[in-house]
A and B are shown apart, each in its own frame.
Chain A
């Protein structure tokens, strides 16, 4: 079972596919849930405090906007854990959406720098493409160590 970083990390469909095919998805939902459930924090809506952008300094320098660093404090640890990654390009907003383009560029760069298998797929626009899309994800996940159901 491999830890698979998904992009967009907010995609519930992608997260579900990874789990169904026997791996552990690394998605935003888990990270945000951990933040929201941390007792003692009072910084709605995501319970991210001004300390988090400072933690993000590990992945982005101080001149990088605070929103990028705050996001990296969530996604950076996930990238470090990742043993594989699936990146969907031009995804529809309803499939999953990541708010900041600069963060998205940095996430993809760090994933490619990480020497892990990465599957790049374009978001399907037809039913036929949709079938090929799921098949490609299944094939990629099956080939990962410990994968396949």
Chain B
């Protein structure tokens, strides 16, 4: 496999003791981290021309290196920008460099703010997505599903399976994730039964999600791929927006993804969330506290207004306290449901969507996209009409089944 060369633009990882983790994450996806070498004179010229007068010399060096990459003086396959969490100066530089590289080159770029607790495991999916984009552009360009394929998304909360034949979804399965392998096997059984096909007839299999390696190995998958590129592809495919720019938002059970996509290929993306308060998990808790099924939370929220209910789910514990206080103060379940949806949307908006450039259409996918109150809250915050494609809850499985068809012999 070709070694993907990832240029690192950073301030602080070597002093935070995490450079080793960054290198390890890259190595585990057959990539290599390197620091672009530039001359001292180019450093001075680089940040002068960029026009951002920062004080920290390491950030000046990062700016000069970014210019060298964009101008083609140094070759790289992808860019990783990393600075210390909680550094305001670095956050400004990180954001502006990400935007500068995205707008002026075809290099995939991801930015990350680390602490000394950052591990290779935390960085793995991001590095994997960077290398996938660099290595598999041809595969990601696939727009039509062919043959009979299976896609499995082994997520943190639920496991989804989709059977596709000749560009049509013919079977689906969805189960809560308990034992990773068993949940996957059972979800596939449901999808196969609905599709009316036999498992041995399936020509190619793709897996994604947290359990992708385990499930993929067990099922002898042709494609095992992280959810950032898979979900981008699945989103633009289902929304029929495969050409031009788009923004994909996936508020998951454990973390969130915001991806800036061009022609179905992610350009920049963020992944994470400070706390489960900014994820689907908080909405699950809200539904449970209100005594309704999660599927009823969306319609409930649409009937309420969250403005009168103070709720801040920056932290899931504080968010839950707000929830309990609001109900104790006599707020209606409708208003509380609306406030919870608004709070989650607001956390994602403040923490993640500031790091990608929002370009319409904004496509929401994943299980939480079925919660109408959340979609409305996100649309209100972004001032756009959010698109929720059909089968949006199966996005990872659809993306996997679509791309897996590239592995059918003779395809």
Given contacts A50-B18, A65-B84, A65-B85, contact A102 B115 (CB under 8 A): no
| Shortest Cβ distance from B12 into A: residue | A67
Tell me the residues in window 12-70 of chain A with beta carbons closer than 8 Å to chain B beta carbons.
42-46, 48-54, 63-70
A67 contacts B19, C-beta separation under 8 Å: no
**What CA separation (Å) do A70 and B43 show in the bound complex?**
25
Neighbouring A residues of B84 by C-beta, 8 Å: 65-68
A97 at the interface (CB under 8 A from B): yes
Is the pair B15, A70 in contact by a Cβ cutoff of 8 Å?
yes
Q: A49 — nearest CB in chain B belongs to which residue?
A: B17
Q: What is the bound-complex CA distance between A49 and B116, given in angstroms?
A: 8
Task: Tell me which of B50-58, B135-143, B263-271 binds A.
Answer: B50-58
* A:90-125 near B, CB below 8 Å: 93-94, 97-102
| A-B residue pair count with CB separations less than 8 angstroms | 96
Cα separation A39 to B193 with both chains bound (whole Å): 60
Contact between chains at B20 and A42 (CB < 8 Å): yes
Is B86 in contact with chain A by the CB < 8 A criterion? Answer: yes
Complex contacts, A64 vs chain B, CB 8 Å: 86
Give the complex CA separation of A101 and B83 in angstroms: 13
Interface size on A, residues (CB 8 A): 30
- Distance A53 CA – B87 CA, assembled complex (angstroms): 15
Which chain A residue shows the least CB distance to B54? A101
The answer to the question of B407 belonging to the interface, with a C-beta cut-off of 8 Å to chain A, is: no
**Contact check: which of B12, B56, B89 meets A66 at CB < 8 Å?**
B12
**Contact with B115, one of A43, A66, A100 (Cβ below 8 angstroms):** A66
Cross-interface CB contact of A98 among B17, B54, B57, cutoff 8 Å = B57
B1-22: CB near A (< 8 Å → 1, else 0) gives 0000000000111111111100
Give CA–CA (A49, B13) in the complex, Å.
10
* CA distance in complex: A123, B284 (Å): 61
Which residues of B9-37 have CB atoms within 8 Å of chain A's CB atoms?
11-20, 23
Contact B20 A93 (CB under 8 A): no
Q: Is the CB of A50 within 8 A of B117?
A: yes
Q: With an 8 A cutoff between CB atoms, is B90 at the interface? A: yes
Q: State whether B56 touches A100 (Cβ < 8 A).
A: yes
Q: How far is the CB of B200 from chain A (nearest CB, A)?
A: 48
Which of B16, B56, B89 interacts with A70 by CB under 8 Å? B16
Specify which chain B residues have a CB less than 8 angstroms from the CB of A74 in the assembled complex. Answer: 15
Contact with A along B58-78 (1 / 0, CB 8 A): 100100000000000000000
CA distance A46 to B36 in the complex (A): 18
- Alpha-carbon separation in the docked complex, A41 to B139 (Å): 41
Q: List, in ascending order, chain A residues with CB within 8 A of B17's CB.
A: 43, 48-53, 66, 70
Q: How far is the CA of A69 from the CA of B57 in the complex (A)?
A: 17
User: B residues 302-324 with Cβ under 8 Å of A?
Assistant: none
A82 and B83 alpha carbons, distance in the complex (Å) = 30
B40 at the interface (CB under 8 A from A): yes
Residues of A within 8 A of B43 (CB): 93
For A52, the chain B residues whose CB sits under 8 A away are: 15, 17, 116
Asked whether, in the complex, the Cβ of B56 is within 8 Å of the Cβ of A71, the reply is: no
Given A64-B86, A94-B40, A102-B56, do A44 and B20 touch, yes or no (CB 8 Å)?
yes
B213: chain A residues at CB < 8 Å are none
Q: How far is the CB of A124 from chain B (nearest CB, A)?
A: 18
Q: Which residue of B lies closest to A74 (CB)?
A: B15
From the candidates A44, A50, A94, A100, name the one contacting B58 in the complex (CB within 8 A). A100
The answer to whether B19 and A45 have CB atoms under 8 Å apart is yes
Residue of B with least CB distance to A71: B15
CB distance A99 to B19 under 8 Å? no
Nearest A residue to B90 via CB reads: A65
- Among residues of A, the one whose C-beta sits closest to the C-beta of B114 is A66
Q: Which chain A residue shows the least CB distance to B89? A: A101
A65 adjacent to B40 (CB under 8 Å): no
A100 and B18 CA atoms in complex are apart in Å by 16
Q: How far is the CB of B79 from chain A (nearest CB, A)?
A: 19
**CB within 8 Å for A70 and B19 given contacts A48-B14, A101-B55:** no
Report the minimum CB–CB distance from B86 to chain A (whole Å): 5
What are the 8 A-B residue pairs with the smallest beta carbon separation, nearest first? Answer: A67-B12, A99-B58, A65-B84, A101-B55, A70-B15, A66-B16, A50-B17, A53-B116
Q: Could you write out 17 A-B pairs with CB less than 8 Å apart?
A: A42-B20, A49-B17, A50-B117, A52-B116, A53-B16, A65-B12, A65-B87, A66-B16, A67-B87, A68-B12, A68-B87, A70-B17, A99-B57, A99-B61, A100-B12, A100-B56, A101-B56
Chain B residues within CB distance 8 Å of chain A:
11-20, 23, 40, 43-44, 54-58, 61, 83-87, 89-90, 114-117
Known A-B contacts: A51-B17, A67-B13, A74-B15. Give 8 more (CB < 8 A).
Answer: A48-B15, A50-B17, A50-B117, A66-B15, A67-B87, A71-B15, A100-B11, A101-B54
